Amino acid sequence: MIGVSAVCKAQTFTATEFINLVYKSQEDIQKELENKGYQFDRTENGDMSENDVFTSGDMTVSVIYPTFEDAQSMVSWEFPNSGDSYNKLAQEISAAGFQKFDTERRTGFTATTYQRPGMTITLSNDKTDNSNGIVTLAVRYTSLSGLAGAMDR
C-alpha cells in the first residue's frame, strides 16, 4: 500500500481527495500531481520506505512506498492553517462517516481522533509557535475492510 504526505502553504486537496491518492497506482499518482502543477524532484530511500518527492513552488508532496511486507499504510499531510482550513477538514471527515473518538487539548494544541471500521484519522492544529497553527491530517488504514469502505466513498 502507498502512503502520501504533503507539506504546503495552503489547502490544495479536500480531505477525501487526499485520502484517495493512496488507492492509485504510482503512475496515476504522478499524473494527478502533475495535473495539479507538481513536478518530480527526487527519490529518497529510507530504512523502511522509499519516497518519491514532488514539488510545486513552496509545496511538497511525498509518496511513500513501504519496503517491508507488514507495513500499515499511512497518509499524512501538514500545512499552515489559513482561515478555517482546520474546521473545513473536520467537517469533511465527519461527513465521510467518521465518528469522533477522542480529543486531546493542551496549551496551543488540539488533536481529535475520528474512527470508522478499519480506519483512524487524527486531525491536529499546533499553535505553540503563536501562529494560526500547523494543521496535520494523518490517516491510518488498519484493515482491508477499511480500505474497501473508503474506496466506496
Q: Is the pLDDT of residue 45 over 90?
A: no
pLDDT band at 119 (very low <50, low <70, confident <90, very high): confident
Burial 123-132 (b: 16+ CB within 10 A, else e): bbbbeeeeee
Return d(Cα 80, Cα 98) in angstroms, integer: 24
What is the SS3 assignment for 63-102?
EEEECCCCCCCEEEEEEECCCCHHHHHHHHHHHCCCEEEE
Q: What's the pLDDT tens digit per position in 62-111?
A: 776 666 655 555 666 767 777 788 888 899 899 988 999 999 999 999 99
DSSP-derived 3-state class of residue 43: strand
Claim: this prediction has a pTM higher than 0.85: no
Q: What is the pLDDT of residue 128?
A: 83
Place of cell 467518521: 98
Say if CB 149 and CB 117 are below 8 A apart.
Answer: yes
User: How far apart, in whole angstroms, are the C-alpha atoms of residue 145 and residue 31?
Assistant: 27
Q: How far apart are CA 140 and CA 46, in angstroms?
A: 20
